[in-house]
Chain A
Amino acid sequence: MAYIATRDTVINALGYFWNSVFLDSDFVSGYSQSVAVSLAHLSKEVSLLPDYTSRFLIPERIDHAVRLFVFDEDTEDTAAYSYGDAGLAYGDAVVYGKDRTGNTDRRFKIDPNFMPEFLTIKLDTPGTIWRKGQDYEIADGWIRFFENPMDLQGLDKRTKIDSDGQTVYEFMMWGFQVTEDINALSKFFGVLAKYCGPSGSQTRTAIDIAWDLRIEGATVRNVNRMLSALTDVDYVHTGGAVGDIYTEGDRVCVQIASEVYTAPAGTAVLVDIGEQAEADQSIFNSFVVRLGNEEVDFEDFEGLALGPQHLPSLTEGLMFVNDLVPVTRKKHPDWFTVRSQ
């Protein structure tokens, strides 16, 4: 299945007349681009649908193509101009030392993660496309308009009351190609598996293991795998001789047979070079798991604190040390004696 998902494919689909002969072909071109953006977004979501049927193919990130950006005068830079300010040149119509508000060269805060292109109004209706470098520029978390946005035709604007009770203007613009993660991994799969986190391979792995825990039960292997995922260490799935131990970037690396297992820097490695490591073995010190019927050393667990919900008839918790303590005899709380007057 082919999708009309780029500006060129939309224009080609319209044909020669609308592109070249029609007098208002600039309008058609802008409209085509706005249509292409929404089609591209749809196309991307459709292309991912087959992956949604398998939890092993869940995409780690799914980006928004379009987002509504709102700038209001509360987020405007009102600091006075200084000589040498970025974007200003000799002869510009600004007055140094004067508040920026009211000048033609106004700038507003914008999330520094985004560098969108802008459409002015609704995606599915024609509108002006603002051109980066011509109508505006984005740098260091600021969007700077070359014209006062109040004077821009076609820009959707309205008044609102800010927190100080002042009436301010806000401007709304549709930005596209903003690459904003829509957190689909957690929304579609994590909620059901009871594990949500930022999009990425760690969250995807944790969701997979959460499903395994639900389906296969709390086996030692599954519990260890889940703890590995949550503590960001690799789980040893194939045994072999430990070939090398080294640090690369911010990861500690352990080579076992032909595999390399890593953990965050600062994690201690529990095996030595030349030692034989088994599959499912814990080779990093990030966590310890012991079963209820296993011997539990003091080094593993120095003690256990139980809350009152574990202790019948008690209203406060108690601690039980994992070490030998003396058993002594003491007087019963109701002990008494009798002495002649």
Chain B
Amino acid sequence: MGFHILNADGAITGYVDTELEASALLLQVPEDIFTFFVGGDTETTDTFMLQLNGLLGHSPTFFEDLAERHGRVPTYINPFKELQAVCFKHATFFIKVRPDILDGRKTAQLLSILQRTLPAGAGVFIIVEHRAVIEAVDMSNAGETYSVFYAPDIPNEGYTGADETILVAPLTR
């Protein structure tokens, strides 16, 4: 009697002959990973989650750090605030401008001016441009429906739309 090896989708990917081999293989089954909603295409979000779980050489892992701060991995987190706490403490402005006020030329000029205010090597300046309603987003893999955003330069697989556009212009000097 042999044993089939099945992947997460139930497809047969291999075969072993003995129970001993099968038992040895089962010891190598990777553990479940933590995940939460981030918008983006499936491949990118999967890779990002593996990074956060420390499976791509990142240590200590994001979730280990969460568990240390909260006593255990919390059941809910705010991705924006977690990102803010880690990356945007200093030298960062979040700027949102009401839709249709700044055209592309003025936005570019604003970015150019602000970029020159940064001393060399100093942090990151984030500019967020807030634009008109496009469509609504269904973040169904989070188990809830939000009416949030759609960034045109970021693939939005799995989402049906947005009610505002948020662009991030990375500015470093």
Could you mark each residue 89-127 of chain B with 1 if its beta carbon is under 8 Å from any beta carbon of chain A, else 0? 111111111100110001001101110111000001110
Verify if B84 is at the interface (C-beta below 8 Å from A).
Answer: yes
Q: A322-B81, A330-B33 are in contact. Are A301 and B128 (CB under 8 A)?
A: yes
| Cβ A319 vs Cβ B78 within 8 A | no
B150 to chain A, nearest CB (A): 8
Could you mark each residue 218-249 of chain A with 1 if its beta carbon is under 8 Å from any beta carbon of chain B, else 0? 10001100110011100000000000000000
Q: Which residues of A contact B44 (CB under 8 A)?
A: 314-318
| Cβ B109 vs Cβ A231 within 8 A | no
| Cβ A305 vs Cβ B151 within 8 A | yes
Q: A214-B117, A286-B101, A338-B25 are in contact. Are A292 and B5 (CB under 8 A)?
A: no
| Cβ B116 vs Cβ A214 within 8 A | yes
| Cβ B13 vs Cβ A301 within 8 A | no
Q: Which residues of A contact B102 (CB under 8 A)?
A: 230-231
Q: A292-B84, A317-B151, A325-B36 are in contact. Are A301 and B96 (CB under 8 A)?
A: yes
Count contacts on B: residues with CB < 8 A to the other chain: 92
| Cβ A305 vs Cβ B168 within 8 A | yes
Distance between Cα atoms of A226 and B102 in the complex (Å):
12
Verify if B136 is at the interface (C-beta below 8 Å from A).
Answer: no
- Which of A193, A306, A336 has the most chain B CB within a 10 Å cutoff? A336
* Choice from A232, A306, A329 contacting B35 with Cβ under 8 Å: A329
Verify if A331 is at the interface (C-beta below 8 Å from B).
Answer: yes
Of the four ranges (under 10, 10 to 19, 20 to 34, 35 or more), the interface on chain A belongs to 35 or more
Q: Which residues of A contact B43 (CB under 8 A)?
A: 316
| Cβ A296 vs Cβ B80 within 8 A | yes
Q: Which residues of B contact A217 (CB under 8 A)?
A: 117
A44 to chain B, nearest CB (A): 29
Q: Considering the complex, which residues of chain A in the window 303-341 have a beta carbon less than 8 Å from any beta carbon of chain B?
A: 303-307, 309-311, 313-341
A-B contact count (CB 8 A): 269
Q: A227-B97, A287-B96, A332-B32 are in contact. Are A326 and B5 (CB under 8 A)?
A: no
Nearest-CB residue, chain A, relative to B82: A320
* Choice from B25, B73, B74, B83 contacting A304 with Cβ under 8 Å: B83
Q: Which residues of A contact B166 (CB under 8 A)?
A: 301-305, 319
| Cβ A301 vs Cβ B80 within 8 A | yes
Verify if B142 is at the interface (C-beta below 8 Å from A).
Answer: yes
Q: Which residues of A contact B47 (CB under 8 A)?
A: 313-314
Q: A305-B151, A318-B38 are in contact. Are A332 and B55 (CB under 8 A)?
A: yes
Q: Which residues of A contact B61 (CB under 8 A)?
A: none
Q: A213-B117, A223-B93, A325-B76 are in contact. Are A319 and B40 (CB under 8 A)?
A: yes
Q: A286-B97, A321-B139, A321-B146 are in contact. Are A291 and B92 (CB under 8 A)?
A: yes
| Cβ A194 vs Cβ B83 within 8 A | no
| Cβ A321 vs Cβ B92 within 8 A | no
Nearest-CB residue, chain A, relative to B118: A218
| Cβ B95 vs Cβ A329 within 8 A | no
Nearest-CB residue, chain B, relative to A330: B35
Q: Which residues of B contact A325 (CB under 8 A)?
A: 36-37, 76-79, 139, 142, 144
Distance between Cα atoms of A288 and B83 in the complex (Å):
19
A232 to chain B, nearest CB (A): 8
Distance between Cα atoms of A292 and B8 in the complex (Å):
40
A339 to chain B, nearest CB (A): 5
| Cβ B94 vs Cβ A301 within 8 A | yes
Q: Which residues of A contact B29 (CB under 8 A)?
A: 335-337
Q: A292-B92, A305-B149, A318-B38 are in contact. Are A194 and B80 (CB under 8 A)?
A: no
**Closest 10 CB pairs between A and B?**
A319-B39, A292-B92, A305-B151, A322-B80, A317-B154, A332-B30, A292-B88, A218-B117, A320-B79, A318-B40
